[in-house]
DNA sequence: CTGAAAGCGCTAACAT
DNA sequence: ATGTTAGCGCTTTCAG
């Protein structure tokens, strides 16, 4: 049987309460006892029983992470960074997946909260999160990430998605492209933000582009390749096809490139392409893919830090952090000598 | 406050123990009470408090998954499949990562066991697992996966790695290659198995190849690209360089292909390449990559099923399951018309 | 500064 | 077939 609070207390001739207080940083403890307790805790390598602690009303030392799809590199990297950080604090991570299904997401939220996670980290696939309290989340504090929601007063970490759209589109325009299209997503905040950035960049360059240059596709997350492939085919079939395209993510971009190549056209000479995500294979593709780097590891670390703060004090002010994206230019978009 | 066992009991005028028994499928309960209890449980949508259940000695409804690196698609897909399965049984998954560091792995094992996971699923990065009991795992049952260990009597699910090596190597030989090299890993059971399969295939074809054709590289998991790149450069520098190479994983294969192309040679005409893992981008690379599919989703499901059995009965016999790999042939290895 | 009493929600072992 | 007693390891009041 593992070492218990009681064992330490008996060894030292004090009560369990005293030990408990020391462990949780109580102030009303003499420096002498505190040291004695801590030493013994070290010696016996005592670890609190989190089940008991949780049951008695304390924290469970557990955080819940709910993502739409762990196989997407974005979420895998996020989970890895978060997990690294939590390990340093002896916290455990309960992982759940919504499979991009709001009904599953709701069930999983309830399950995690019911299990007593100290904080919930959520990349929601719902349309609105206004009913988050109704989902029974409170009083469990919550850190949203990747996808933000209007009118929800929760901590949030994500990318400056408008800047993502601007970066990609400006880059394409600067490469001399004049007919830039966008294959984007639907409804989610990243999709909306990237589209907005795209529009801003186009406007700033004094261009007016056909509405048909914007494709807003559902399921762009999972169906990436096919979505990109089909959207690009449609774009190429326009009377005046685009000479560049900014794609919602890298897989979509791969699909789009494939469509361009199969149409007998060249990348980037006929159609320049920029993706988003900057996955590890971007530079080894048939045509090395320019992409927007999302700095996911940093995102995970920030989200984790926020979560830690909320675990200590659930009432801590809900910060909103936006990270700046970076463009990684590769052959798929570089039309000029030396970029 | 959530619904408790006691609430159900009071509503029905029975004792909590009766309700508890019904919930756990006790036999010494009249059919009438059982039904009354179950109905009320439904109506109130009662969910047991796992903290309390665990503390009192029951199962915690929790499984621990410990992997070397969640970012590797293999482990991400495994985790996803497992998580899907567990969701159907209302079990939670605690995720931990060893970062390929045995010391971290050991700490995490202890932490998971201490938290009372009902089963531990482990892809170990240690050299030996003979001291698994000493790690304080027992009586927590354990399912090993991906990497097997001699002399350890635990449930295991993985690939038939020898067959992986044979499949890949035979394929290259059948394509007319006569000087097949292998860029492999070190120490782990998959690395050993694949090398063995490679050797078997070479022998069966009556060939005798230089020892220098086999590169056993450390850190082939994380450092994939560079490992493959450098190993291939070394192979190409041999007096009689190989005309084909079977690489430990896809990233290694990408590195190897890059080395071949930069040397001014062609894939597959000068050097045919086969990888392992069959990741999603294999077909969109500069040269679409032939690869061995590991059927990870199935692997995850089987591991999960084993874990469920062990959660019910920790003494259940420890099965060992080996899945058969499949070759997916693409341009990187197809030298003859129509493969 | 320290401790005693009570209880979190559940289950084991033993009655009845 | 059902209930009683006791306790899992910890934390919260509140009293000393």
- Consecutive 10-residue runs of chain A (339 residues): their mean pLDDT? 87 90 85 89 93 94 97 96 97 97 95 96 89 81 94 92 98 97 94 98 95 92 89 97 97 96 96 96 93 98 97 89 98 77
Report yes or no: A249 and A223 within 8 Å, Cβ to Cβ: no
- State whether the beta carbon of A51 lies below 7 angstroms from any atom of strand C: no
pLDDT (0 to 100) of residue A337: 57
Report yes or no: A277 and A294 within 8 Å, Cβ to Cβ: yes
B55-102 pLDDT, tens digit each: 999 999 999 999 999 999 999 999 999 999 999 999 999 999 999 999
Q: What is the layout of strands, in order, in the sheet containing B244-247?
A: B214-216, B180-184, B244-247, B272-276, B290-293, B326-328
Residue from B56, B60, B80 whose CB has the most chain A CBs within 10 Å, to mutate? B80
Angstroms from A162 CA to nearest CA on chain B: 27
B71 touching A, CB under 8 A? yes
Q: Alpha-carbon distance A251 to A268, whole Å?
A: 17
Which residue in chain A is spatially nearest to B92 when comparing CA positions?
Answer: A94
Only one residue has tokens 């019911």, namely A114
Q: Is the pLDDT of residue B338 over 80?
A: no
Q: What angle do CA A179, A183, A189 make, to 5 degrees?
A: 125
Q: How many CB atoms lie within 10 A of CB A334?
A: 16
Alpha helices (H) along B56-188: 73-88, 102-114, 161-174
pLDDT (0 to 100) of residue A26: 77
Q: Is the pLDDT of residue B339 over 50?
A: no
- Name the residue among A144, A91, A27 with its Cα closest to residue A311: A91
Judge: B286–A281 Cβ closer than 8 Å, yes or no. no
Find how far residue A100's CA is from the centre of its chain.
14
For residue B117, what are the CA distances in angstroms to B59, B91, B138, B234? 8, 10, 11, 47
Residue ranges of E strands in chain B? 62-67, 92-97, 119-122, 142-145, 155-159, 180-184, 214-216, 244-247, 272-276, 290-293, 320-323, 326-328
pLDDT (0 to 100) of residue B337: 57
Report the interhelical angle of A5-12 vs A31-44 (nearest 10°).
120
A29-38, A50-59, B255-264, B324-333: range with lowest mean pLDDT: A29-38
Distinct helix (H) and strand (E) counts, chain B:
11, 12
Q: Alpha-carbon distance B321 to B331, whole Å?
A: 32
Surface of A (76-105) touching B: CB under 8 A: 76-77, 79-80, 83-84, 87, 90, 92-97, 99, 104
Surface of A (221-280) touching B: CB under 8 A: 225, 251, 254, 257-258, 279-280
B69 touching A, CB under 8 A? yes
Q: Alpha-carbon distance B302 to B230, whole Å?
A: 37
Instruction: Estimate in Å the CA A21 to C1' D12 gap, whole number.
Output: 11
Using a CB-CB cut-off of 8 Å, the residues of chain B touching A286 are: 284-286
Closest Cβ–Cβ partner in A83, A112, A116 for B51: A116
Q: Alpha-carbon distance B199 to B284, whole Å?
A: 30
- State whether the beta carbon of B312 lies below 7 angstroms from any atom of strand C: no
- State whether the beta carbon of A16 lies below 7 angstroms from any atom of strand D: yes
Only one residue has tokens 């000029």, namely A336
Report yes or no: B98 and B68 within 8 Å, Cβ to Cβ: yes
Distinct helix (H) and strand (E) counts, chain A:
11, 12
B160-204 pLDDT, tens digit each: 999 999 999 999 999 999 999 999 999 899 999 999 999 999 999
B208-234 pLDDT, tens digit each: 999 999 999 988 888 789 999 999 999
% of chain B surpassing 70 pLDDT: 99
pLDDT (0 to 100) of residue B94: 98
Q: Label residue A325 exposed, middle or buried (CB < 10 Å: 0-12, 13-18, 19+).
A: buried
- State whether the beta carbon of A186 lies below 7 angstroms from any atom of strand D: no
Judge: A79–B93 Cβ closer than 8 Å, yes or no. no
Q: Alpha-carbon distance A266 to A247, whole Å?
A: 17
pLDDT (0 to 100) of residue A338: 43
- State whether the beta carbon of B53 lies below 7 angstroms from any atom of strand C: yes
């Amino acid at each position: 049987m593992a070492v218990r609070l009681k064992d330490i207390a008996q060894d030292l001739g004090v009560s369990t309460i005293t030990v408990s207080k020391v462990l949780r940083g109580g102030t009303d403890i003499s420096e002498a006892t505190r040291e004695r307790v801590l030493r013994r805790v070290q010696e016996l390598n005592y670890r609190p029983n989190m089940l008991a602690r949780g049951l008695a009303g304390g924290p469970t030392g557990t955080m819940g992470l709910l993502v739409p799809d762990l196989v997407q590199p974005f979420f895998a990297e996020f989970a890895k960074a978060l997990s690294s950080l939590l390990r340093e604090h002896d916290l455990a991570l309960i992982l759940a997946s919504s499979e991009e299904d709001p009904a599953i997401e709701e069930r999983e939220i309830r399950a995690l909260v019911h299990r007593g996670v100290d904080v919930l980290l959520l990349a929601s696939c719902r349309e609105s999160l206004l009913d988050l309290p109704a989902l029974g989340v409170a009083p469990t504090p919550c850190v949203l990430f990747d996808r933000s929601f209007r009118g929800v007063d929760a901590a949030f970490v994500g990318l400056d998605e408008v800047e993502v759209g601007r970066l990609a589109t400006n880059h394409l325009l600067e490469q001399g492209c004049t007919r830039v299209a966008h294959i984007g997503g639907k409804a989610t905040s990243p999709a909306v933000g990237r589209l907005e950035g795209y529009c801003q960049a186009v406007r700033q360059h004094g261009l007016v582009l056909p509405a048909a240059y914007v494709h807003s596709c559902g399921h762009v997350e999972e169906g990436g390749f096919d979505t990109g492939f089909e959207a690009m085919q449609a774009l190429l079939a326009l009377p005046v096809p685009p000479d560049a395209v900014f794609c919602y993510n890298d897989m979509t971009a791969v699909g789009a490139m494939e469509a361009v190549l199969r149409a007998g056209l060249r990348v980037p000479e006929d159609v320049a392409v920029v993706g988003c995500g900057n996955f590890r294979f971007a530079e080894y593709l048939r045509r090395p893919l320019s992409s927007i780097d999302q700095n996911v590891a940093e995102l995970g670390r920030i989200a984790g830090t926020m979560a830690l703060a909320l675990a200590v004090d659930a009432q801590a002010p809900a910060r909103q952090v936006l990270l700046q994206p970076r463009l990684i230019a590769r052959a798929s978009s570089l039309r000029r000598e030396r970029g």
